[in-house]
């Protein structure tokens, strides 16, 4: 996974509340076999509306998404995070997120930043014309206009995102511990291996 330290760039001033995973990626995209390419289906329904932020050339390729309350509610589908990642989103800033979504986002290298509504309102304003700066190390969101918003993050998640460590990579770092367990289990319950010849 790519390291995430500082993300700077334009942000989609989206702002919608209660965006469920069906809005992020409709169910008919679930029959795919790849995580990549789902960006095409991201916000499909909203993109049918003329003048939507996602198709506005002003914001094309923005790495930041600013959203409203309860972002990512609904089903547990991981496709929502995959779709955002494929769209090039690295940070989502909102007043709150569904737990499952922020877990899925984290697993896919996306930082979810929780800020109070006033901060969101201000960032929405700046995002219309200017870039936004997110610094994970400092846990800040700043603008060139002296705005500075501090955010909280679980230390484990911060550590993983900064180091580009995915959970699998971390667990693989414990291969020796796993190997030792396997050796012990093979002694205690030898009939378990192999399961398939």
- Reference 106, options 115, 114, 117; nearest CA is 114
Cβ distance to another protein smaller for residue 116 or 164: 164
Q: Please tell me the distance from the alpha carbon of residue 63 to that of residue 52, in angstroms, as a whole number.
A: 17
35 binds another protein (CB under 8 A): yes
- Rounded Cα distance between 130 and 117, Å, is 19
Pick between residue 51 and residue 195 the one whose CB is nearest to another protein.
195
Based on the shown chain and the rule CB under 8 A, indicate whether residue 178 belongs to the binding site for another protein: yes
Instruction: Tell me the three state secondary structure of residue 142.
Output: strand
Q: Residue 12 forms beta bridges with which residues?
A: 65
Which residue number, 34 or 146, has a Cβ lying nearer to another protein? Answer: 34
Q: Which C-beta is closer to another protein: that of 116 or that of 169?
A: 169
The candidate with the shortest Cα–Cα distance to 63, out of 125, 153, 121, 133, is: 133
> Contact with another protein (CB under 8 A): which of 96, 98, 102, 104?
104
**Residues found in the chain:** 197
Q: Is 6 in the site for another protein (CB under 8 A)?
A: no
CB 62 within 8 A of CB 11: yes
Q: Report which secondary-structure segment, H or E, holds 168.
A: helix 167-172
Q: Tell me if 174 contacts another protein by CB under 8 A.
A: yes
- The answer to the question of residue 33 lying near another protein (CB under 8 A) is yes
Question: Rounded to the nearest whole angstrom, what is the least distance from the CB of residue 18 to another protein in the complex?
Answer: 16
Q: Which is nearer to another protein, 146 or 196 (CB)?
A: 196
Q: Are 111 and 59 in contact (CB under 8 A)?
A: no
Q: Is 45 in the site for another protein (CB under 8 A)?
A: no
List the one residue from 6, 45, 60, 168 that touches another protein (CB under 8 A). 168
Rounded-to-10 torsion of CA 169, 174, 175, 181: -140
CB 72 → another protein: shortest distance, Å?
Answer: 14
User: What is the contact surface with another protein in residues (CB under 8 A)?
Assistant: 31-35, 76, 78, 82, 104, 107-108, 166-169, 171-172, 174-175, 177-178, 181-182, 185, 188-197
């Amino acid at each position: 996974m790519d390291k995430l330290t500082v993300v700077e760039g334009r942000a989609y001033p989206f702002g919608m509340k209660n965006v469920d995973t069906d809005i992020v990626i409709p169910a008919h995209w679930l029959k795919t076999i790849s995580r990549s390419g789902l960006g095409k289906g991201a916000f499909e329904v909203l993109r049918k509306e003329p003048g939507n932020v996602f198709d506005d050339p002003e914001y094309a390729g923005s790495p930041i998404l600013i959203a409203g309350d309860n972002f990512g509610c609904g089903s547990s589908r991981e496709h929502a995070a995959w779709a955002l990642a494929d769209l090039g989103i690295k940070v989502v800033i909102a007043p709150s997120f569904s737990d499952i979504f922020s877990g899925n986002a984290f697993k896919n290298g996306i930082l979810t930043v929780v800020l109070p509504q006033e901060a969101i309102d201000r960032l929405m304003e700046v995002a219309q014309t200017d870039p936004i700066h997110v610094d994970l190390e400092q846990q800040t969101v700043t603008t060139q206009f002296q705005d500075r918003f501090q955010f909280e993050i679980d230390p484990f998640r911060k550590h993983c995102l900064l180091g580009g460590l995915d959970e699998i990579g971390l667990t693989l770092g414990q291969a020796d511990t796993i190997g030792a367990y396997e050796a012990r289990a093979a002694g205690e319950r030898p009939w378990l291996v192999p399961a398939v010849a």
